[in-house]
Structure 1
C-alpha cells in the first residue's frame, strides 16, 4: 500500500499562532517559533520515504516544491481534520497526518510510521502526545477520517477519545511512540533539546526563549 503525508498547519501570522507562548513571548516571537517548527516539519516530510506529500494549510503559506497544497475547511479542529483526510484522498493510498507542533519528528520516524500503516494488521496508526492529545494519525482508508468530526480536540483525553472513535468503526489500531508537542514555552524548551542543535526550531528557541528563562 502506498502512503501520503499530510501536514496540517496554520500560516505563521503574529497573534494567530502559538498564542500560548505569550507570555513570555511576544506575538511576533511566537510566530517566528511557529514558522521554524513548520519549516523543520516540512523538511522532515520532504526527506521521508513517502509517495506523496500535501500541505493542508490555513492562510496563504506556500507548499514546498514537490508538495501539493490544499486549503483547510471547517470550523472546529475536528471538522478541519476530517476534511483534510477527505479533501486529499487518493484511491489506494493511505494518509498519515501530522501537525506543525512536533519539530523533533524526523524523516526516519515518519517513514517508519508509513511502513507500519502499510502492514496487514494495521487499519490505523496513532501516536499520542504527552499532554493527552495526539501528534500523528494514519488511516489506511482516509474515509474513516470522518470519525474525527465529533471528537473533542485540545483536551487531555483527545487521544483516548480518538482511539475509541476509530475502534467503534472496527479499525485495528497500532500505537506509535508518544511525543511532546509545543504549546507552552516550557514545551518549546524541552522539544528544542530533542532537535538537532542546528535545526531552525532549536536555534530560534535558543534565541528567543532561552534568554527569557534566565531574565
Structure 2
C-alpha cells in the first residue's frame, strides 16, 4: 500500500465542455487544447517530480483516447467519478482512496502555480499529525485538499464553483475539531482575464 496518493480530478476534453468561461476569449477548440495541456502537464509532474502514487479520476467516461494514453504512458490507475455534483464526486473518491492510502491530496488541473513543493509540504504535514491541509485559491475556492480521514460534511452543502468554498470548508474543519494547515494562496485559471497571467508566467502552456 502506498502511504500517499495524489488524486487528480479531470473532465474528458470534449470541445465546449471544459473551461467554458474561457471560450469567449479562445474559442471551443483552443480552450480544449489549453485544458488538455494543463492536464497532461500536471500528470507529468506529479508522476515524475514526486514519489507519491497518482490516481486519475475522470468524468463523464473512461473511454477517451487521452485517458488510455495517459494511463499507459504513466502507468496510472483510472477511476470514474461518480456523484450528482463535484462535492459528491470528490467525497466518494476520497473515501475510496483512503481505504488504499493513509494520506490523500485532491487536486484539479487548472492551477498552474501548484508545484511538487506544495505536494511535498502537504504530505509532510499530514504525516506529522495534521488532519487536513487546505490549498486556498484567490477566488475563494481551493486548489488542493489533503486528508487523513473522510467526513461527509467536507463534501456536502458547499456552493461548488462559488467564492466561499474555502471558507465553508474551514468552518466544517473547525466544527469537526480537526487540526489543519494551509498552503499559500494560489490562483487558478478560470476567467479570460487570467489568460494574461498565464502567458506571462507559463508561456509554454499557452502555445497553440
TM-score, length-scaled by structure 2:
0.87
Equivalent residue for 2:43?
A: 42
2:185 aligned with 1:178, yes or no? yes
CA distance in 1, matches of 2:180, 2:108: 20
Equivalent residue for 1:80?
A: 89
Residue number among 99, 102, 114 corresponding to 1:93 in the alignment: 102
Equivalent residue for 2:122?
A: 113
Secondary structure at the aligned position of 2:25 is classed as coil
Structure 1 pair 146–161 and aligned structure 2 pair: CA distance change class (3 A): closer
CA distance in 1, matches of 2:29, 2:128: 43
Query: In the TM superposition, what are the counterparts of 1:158-177 in structure 2 within 5 Å?
Result: 158-177=165-184
**Paired positions, count:** 199
Secondary structure at the aligned position of 1:90 is classed as coil
CA distance in 2, matches of 1:154, 1:17: 14
Secondary structure at the aligned position of 2:106 is classed as strand
Equivalent residue for 1:129?
A: 137
Given that 2:34 and 2:206 are in contact with CA atoms closer than 8 Å, whether structure 1 keeps it comes out as no
2:139 aligned with 1:139, yes or no? no
Structure 2: state its 5+ residue gaps.
none
Given that 1:117 and 1:125 are in contact with CA atoms closer than 8 Å, whether structure 2 keeps it comes out as yes
Secondary structure at the aligned position of 2:176 is classed as coil
Secondary structure at the aligned position of 2:112 is classed as coil
2:21 aligned with 1:20, yes or no? yes
Equivalent residue for 1:6?
A: 7
Given that 2:47 and 2:53 are in contact with CA atoms closer than 8 Å, whether structure 1 keeps it comes out as no
Instruction: Give CA-to-partner distance per residue, 1:159-187, whole Å, 9 cap, x none.
Output: 10011112222211101111110111221
CA distance in 2, matches of 1:5, 1:149: 21
Deviation of 1:150 after TM superposition, in Å, equals: 2.1
TM-score, length-scaled by structure 1:
0.85
Equivalent residue for 1:187?
A: 194
CA distance in 1, matches of 2:200, 2:13: 22
